[in-house]
Chains A and B, each alone.
Chain A
């Protein structure tokens, strides 16, 4: 990577790694895993920085890598016996009121119990606020698949966490 490209890459990464890290954090539920996931994605981006930056969409590329690496990790680790925090991950649920805290905790638990694919749909649609077409591109699937995944995931969230029913009933 030449110095000019590296400078550009560093500038972009410094500006965007916060948002990407939070996305990775939501996807993994664990800070350390999120760091590793993001580091790997940024390394892949750096390898192809000139081409990706000229295409104008490093964000989409990094999100795509985050998703596919997450799936790969889970596939490799599916026989893993232990997880440090299987339920709520490293999310710090510090809320201003008890009821808010309960809902937030329920959201964290629900996210942890979703499959990586379902969690990705929820995070990209409702956290990153991406349109369905963009989500479909990131996940390498059709728009219809994104819609159906979103529908099923929200239904599953309602089933798994009654606390969420109230906030999800009109989604």
Chain B
């Protein structure tokens, strides 16, 4: 009986409390409009710089990836988390920006996804993707996804030219942060000029050795106090190490490296980065939802902020 089926469908959801998403929807709409007017092809190269250099620093390109073998990762987060509050519920818009392409509405609709969809996208290995979310509180979160075994070091010579000062500031900072690692690991060309004021410390203290993340533990274990603006410490000490209670194994078909850049209202950049765990670490599966929860868990990030 139709009415019976109707009754059951209503009974399934009628008592479900409604979510208020109006403000978030309006925020998303404003972000789309802002990015549509501000986006430019130069952002692609700048994004590449921001991705390639930190990845190179962590040695992601130097380890061969065997098809079908899960890669071990651990999660490292930069210490200056004072402005970090990645939203657990905001929808992130995935913009595919190959070769200077600026996504229009239709294309964006086609590739639009949420945080949870990001790792499963049929990503082209030689292209880059970014997920940008402008939040009502003024924070912009930029998520960059790149195949770890494709390292576009040639992009490292390109200067980021961003129309949005906060993005430029953040990505320039990342580029500067990774410059030393890029030079020692790849022997690449001249490093990009940093033309903006840096929030990150002076890169002269960077260690030339690619650090190996420590064994995964259940706790957030800061390896050095957060000292934004002070002398730079080696990457291995620069980052707080934090993982979930079990070791993380990404069982995706292809291994991706992910960087989440969070740009505070004050223009300071913080970033979280997915890097390889040491060989021999015990393995356990992690679901995409767990990974996303790790990225967006405000409690974890607050712990990291406090060291």
Any B CB within 8 A of the CB of A2: no
B1-39 with Cβ < 8 A to chain A: 1-2, 4-6, 8-16, 18-22, 24-26, 28-29, 32-33
Across the interface, A170 reaches (CB within 8 A) one of B1, B122, B251, namely B1
Known contacts A79-B253, A107-B12; A21/B19 CB under 8 A? yes
Any B CB within 8 A of the CB of A98: no
Stretch at the interface among A40-48, A50-58, A140-148: A40-48
Nearest CB of B to A94, in Å: 8
Instruction: Decide: B16 and A43 in contact? CB cutoff 8 A.
Output: no
How many residues of chain B have a CB within 8 Å of chain A? 46
Known contacts A1-B29, A17-B22, A107-B12; A77/B4 CB under 8 A? no
Instruction: Decide: A103 and B8 in contact? CB cutoff 8 A.
Output: yes
Across the interface, A39 reaches (CB within 8 A) one of B11, B13, B24, namely B24
Any A CB within 8 A of the CB of B299: no
Instruction: Decide: A107 and B110 in contact? CB cutoff 8 A.
Output: no
Report the Cα distance A39→B105, complex, angstroms.
16
B117: chain A residues within 8 A (beta carbon): 73, 76-77
Q: Which residue of A lies closest to B114 (CB)?
A: A36
Nearest CB of B to A121, in Å: 12
Q: Which residue of B lies closest to A42 (CB)?
A: B25
Report the Cα distance A45→B11, complex, angstroms.
28
Secondary structure of the B side of the interface? helix
Report the Cα distance A25→B53, complex, angstroms.
42
A104: chain B residues within 8 A (beta carbon): 8, 11-12
B288: chain A residues within 8 A (beta carbon): 80-82
Nearest CB of A to B68, in Å: 13
A33: chain B residues within 8 A (beta carbon): 114, 116
B20: chain A residues within 8 A (beta carbon): 17
Any B CB within 8 A of the CB of A18: yes
Instruction: Decide: A92 and B120 in contact? CB cutoff 8 A.
Output: no
Instruction: Decide: A167 and B22 in contact? CB cutoff 8 A.
Output: no
Any B CB within 8 A of the CB of A171: yes
Known contacts A42-B21, A72-B109; A127/B29 CB under 8 A? no
Known contacts A79-B253, A82-B288; A43/B19 CB under 8 A? no
Report the Cα distance A40→B4, complex, angstroms.
32
Across the interface, B287 reaches (CB within 8 A) one of A69, A84, A168, namely A84
Any B CB within 8 A of the CB of A13: yes
Report the Cα distance A69→B28, complex, angstroms.
15
Across the interface, B32 reaches (CB within 8 A) one of A6, A38, A43, A126, namely A43
Instruction: Decide: B25 and A127 in contact? CB cutoff 8 A.
Output: no
Across the interface, B25 reaches (CB within 8 A) one of A13, A129, A167, A168, namely A13
Report the Cα distance A157→B70, complex, angstroms.
38
Any A CB within 8 A of the CB of B121: yes
Q: Which residue of B lies closest to A171 (CB)?
A: B2
A80: chain B residues within 8 A (beta carbon): 120, 288
Instruction: Decide: A84 and B289 in contact? CB cutoff 8 A.
Output: yes
Q: Which residue of A lies closest to B20 (CB)?
A: A17
Any B CB within 8 A of the CB of A160: no
A47: chain B residues within 8 A (beta carbon): 29, 32-33, 105
Q: Which residue of A lies closest to B22 (CB)?
A: A13
Report the Cα distance A18→B18, complex, angstroms.
5
B8: chain A residues within 8 A (beta carbon): 103-104, 107, 167
CB-defined A-B contacts under 8 Å, sample of 20: A21-B16, A22-B18, A26-B13, A31-B16, A38-B21, A38-B25, A40-B112, A69-B109, A72-B110, A73-B113, A73-B117, A76-B122, A77-B113, A80-B120, A81-B251, A82-B287, A91-B12, A95-B11, A111-B12, A171-B2
Residues of A within 8 A of B (CB): 1, 6, 9-10, 13-14, 17-18, 21-22, 25-26, 31-36, 38-47, 68-69, 72-73, 76-77, 79-82, 84, 91-95, 103-104, 107-108, 111, 122-123, 126-127, 129, 167-168, 170-171
Besides A43-B91, A126-B5, 4 new A-B residue pairs in contact (Cβ under 8 A), listed by A number? A22-B14, A42-B26, A47-B105, A73-B113
